[in-house]
Amino acid sequence: MNPLPGTADILFLEVDVVDPSGFSDVLQVRGLQIAEHRILRVEAPGCSTGSGSS
C-alpha cells in the first residue's frame, strides 16, 4: 500500500467495466464523498490502464 501525504489533495476514480456491446460516446460520471475521500464513479465498456501520452 502506498501511503498518501496528509496534505495531499486526492481524487479517486472508480471505473466499473460493463458489457462492451453497449458502447456509447457519453459517459455519466458521479461524484461523491465517503468520509474524507472524494470519488468519481463511472460505468464504461472498457478502461485503459495507461495515460496514452508520451
**What is this structure's pTM?**
0.62
Compute the average pLDDT of residues 49-54. Answer: 55
C-alpha distances out from residue 8 to 36, 41, 48, 54, Å: 12, 20, 25, 25
Q: Which three cell numbers stand for residue 27?
A: 459517459
Q: What is the pLDDT of residues 7-38, one digit of tens each?
A: 778 899 898 888 777 777 778 899 999 998 89
Return the domain boundaries, the chain. Answer: 11-44
Q: What is the pLDDT of residue 7?
A: 79
